[in-house]
Amino acid sequence: MDLEGGRCWREELEEQVTGSFLGGRGVNSWLLWRHSVAGCGPLSPGNPLILGAGALGGTHVPASGRVTVTCKSPATGLFLKSTSGGHWGAALRWAGFDHIVVHGKSPRPVYLHLEEGRATLRSAEHLWGKDVRQTNEALRQELDCPDLEVACIGQAGENLVLFAGVMFSVYNTAARGGAGAVMGSKRLKAISVNPRGRLGVASPEEFWLLGLEAGGGGDRYQLKYGTAGGIPVLNELYIFPHRNFRGGRFDRAREISGQRLAEAGYLKRSVACASCPNACHRYVEVNGGPYAGTYTGGPEYESINSLGAGAMVTDLEAIIKANELCNIYGLDTISAGVAAQWLLECAERGLVSSAQVGLPLEWGRAETVVELVRRIAFREGVGDLLAQGVKRASERLGGGSWRWAMQAKGLEQSSCETRPAKGYALAFAVSPRGPDHLYAHPGLELGITSKMRSMVERITGSEAYANPRLVEKRADIVSWHEDAVAVKDSLGICHFYKTRDACGFDLELYAGLFSAATGHRLGGEDLLRAGRRIVNLERCFNVREGASRADDVLPHRLMTEELPDQPGLINSPDELEQMKDRYYTLRGWDLDRGWPRRATLEALGLEEQAGELAGLGRLPE
């Protein structure tokens, strides 16, 4: 789709592409490489925005409804993949499409409508300025389609907040890295999909039976309280950060847990994504007090930590309200919360005052966090500073505030305290999109269940390595997770189906499903090899942009300050470099710069990438 010229057209993907990169995230990454050039500005018309459903999306395969959004990130200037649940991905495939590639910039606001294999661009001038809820309601009425699925941006995306997300319906979002700002820069308000149509597979009977097998066994990962149900356990492991990552165990964690949301009556019902029996999303309401009338999805673990414990806020109703505002304005809750925490610490250290901002800048002030979310979305006052993310904000403010800006590569860190979890530390450092939990999510290292410990033994050779405080074998665990997560993202499978952290992911079963769906006959190892190919392709994108080993770091605080009450726990540079050496070696990358070697890329069928990097002088032999 060319927004500048107002043209839409269809192209068929070559079978070799789907056989090599599967679908969803994998094909998105291949398309991003093909349709972008090195040095292109993230908010320039030349940065393509790509949305893709998983290869199994829209089918009866359980938890197969996830969608991936891919572009160059305005937060980092590097590769970005951001995923979302809901029903939009399934609807996209029912409407006759697998991927959408958006080129250029429209001269005026538009939206794209997809229906029965047809794509049309329509004026969105009447939608510009509306929030996510209002946009969904307006399009359903305008198109007279109550089942319409909508991907859109709110005011945060329109205002080019660098951590604006793309919202799918009103509760699901591809949040991290600023894809919503890219969509806003193109003046593309929404992509609506009428989920009318039929979806065929290569071998229907085989596919049906394997899909039933994928849903059987009664071995589903139960999320009765959503991801926020894990707060009490993670808190005891010193992995639940608070006060801008100045501690890993929060004394009042139980008060803001998923369990408390249910006990206090805020939780009204559970909600499922497309074809998923887990129904782990929650819907909450606030019926009294200053935030009466608030209703939203979640809040999940990350949102509760970033908007709550991270700012020392324990008012659940205020956390729910801040979460609601992020959803209707289209903001990443993680980055919004980390930005608020950074500002509070700046005030604590005397770099900014409450009088200057016009808000009480004190830890635990719930109303301040709620108002900061609104100001960020509309870039009002200090919100204009925070809308740039904490890396740029700290560079502008100065005063050494970069030391407590919890970011790396320009992305605010997910709500995982990595000092007691060395695998997470390595995963966050080497992730091409920055310190985030959904590129690898190596939770196996925690060894909480027998199944997790068994998988660690399978990967490393010994169950003894199911210990998050060990440095040894972290690279083995992380690289396996990266490959497996790349496969799941490409198939459209949720990380939380069966068991989290990929330990319940039956590679042979899903290889059979992919084969029966597409006609490409792959085995389990072929599938994992495809995941490795995708990870290497995404690394190549960053190398083309000039990234190297020096960029694979963690926030300064985590590498220079010990975790309080846990002497000796730190992500020391020496430890991290040791783990990176092992990781690069396993990956077949150059140790000096962290660049993939020619032999590695050619063995994975990435000759095109090898050739281009060689031309740039960035291909080690």
Strands (E), 312-444: 407-408, 411-412
Domain 15-193, CATH homologous superfamily name and number: Aldehyde ferredoxin oxidoreductase, N-terminal domain (3.60.9.10)
C-beta separation of 264 from 316 below 8 A:
yes
| 598-601 CB contacts, 8 Å cutoff, 24+ apart | 600/536, 601/536, 601/540
Instruction: Map tokens 């000092």 to a residue.
Output: 419
Over the stretch 473-510, which tens digit does the pLDDT of each residue have? 999 999 999 999 999 999 999 988 765 555 668 899 99
Residue 190, strand partner residues? 111, 152
How far apart CA 242 and CA 235 sit, in angstroms, is 10
pTM value?
Answer: 0.96
CA dist 208 → 59, 62, 113, 519, 591 (Å) = 9, 12, 31, 14, 46
Burial letters for 330-348: b for 16+ Cβ neighbours within 10 Å, e otherwise? bbbbbbbbbbbbbbbbbbe
Q: Where are the domains of the chain?
A: 15-193, 227-398, 422-615
* Contact yes or no for 24/97 (Cβ under 8 A): no
pLDDT at 222: 54
- φ, ψ of residue 459 to 5 degrees: the values are -80, -40
Instruction: Decide: helix, strand or coil at residue 523.
Output: coil
Which pLDDT tens digit goes with each residue over 108-164? 999 999 999 999 999 999 999 999 999 999 999 999 999 999 999 999 999 999 999
Q: CA-CA distance, 244 to 342, in Å (whole number)?
A: 7
* DSSP element (H, E) containing 111: strand 110-115
Greatest Cα pair distance, the chain, in angstroms, is 68
**278 closest CA partner among 64, 52, 513:** 64
**Rounded to an integer, what is the distance from CA 66 to the centroid of its chain?**
11
Q: What is the rounded CA–CA span in Å between residue 382 and residue 29?
A: 35
461 Cβ neighbours under 8 A, 6+ residues apart = none
pLDDT of residue 565: 80
Give the whole-angstrom CA distance, residue 451 versus residue 181: 40
- Residue 449 pLDDT: 86
Q: Retrieve residue 349's tokens.
A: 């250290």
**What is the C-alpha R_g of the chain?**
23
Nearest to 609 by CA among 526, 543, 530: 543
CA distances from 145 to 86, 128, 557 (A): 17, 20, 50
Cross-strand partners of 100 = 51
The closest of 28, 56, 49, 27 to 494, measured between CA atoms, is: 56
The list of the chain residues with pLDDT below 70 reads 217-223, 498-504
Selection from 160, 554, 173 nearest residue 388 by Cα: 160
What is the average pLDDT value for the chain, to the nearest integer? 95
With contact defined as beta carbons under 8 Å apart, do 114 and 90 qualify? no
* DSSP string of 11-54, one letter each residue: -PPPHHHHHHH-SHHHHHHHHHHHH--TT--TTSTTS-EEEEE-
The CATH number of 422-615 is 1.10.599.10
Q: Which of 343, 288, 344 is nearest to 320 (CA)?
A: 288
Q: How far apart are CA 154 and CA 167, in angstroms?
A: 8
Residue 192 sits at φ, ψ, to 5 deg, of -100, 145
Run of H or E residues at 407: strand 407-408
Q: Specify the pLDDT at position 461.
A: 96
| Topology annotation, domain 227-398 | 1.10.569
